[in-house]
Structure 1
């Protein structure tokens, strides 16, 4: 957490401030604490370069049995 937010939390923990804040005030502060959080991390994309992917050694087979594929082609004609 940013040092400024930690300082703010320490001030808000003091009894003098805690008694001044209503529930609505506390709910309003939630966005302040969570606005700098990125739960997915940062992804930097280089769109000017290509990935060096190897071609697969084998081509995947169809999951549909050959006779079912032939029947579906015949039905569409």
Structure 2
């Protein structure tokens, strides 16, 4: 079903949906306790990774394979 959906609507739609669900899970953003990185979610891409804004307003993108742990920011 997933491959059929990708063929029908494209990978970008799936990435947008994934970002939507990540934002539902973590409306304030995400935090990696191992690297002390995180912030509000900006973009999700299967090829590029997950992008968030850090405290000083710059964006950071990490490849999905390098993100071992993520927690929702709760405060």
TM-score range, shorter chain: under 0.3
TM-score (norm 2): 0.27
Tell me which protein shows more helix as a share of its residues. 1
Greater relative CO, 1 or 2 (CA 8 Å, sep 6+):
2
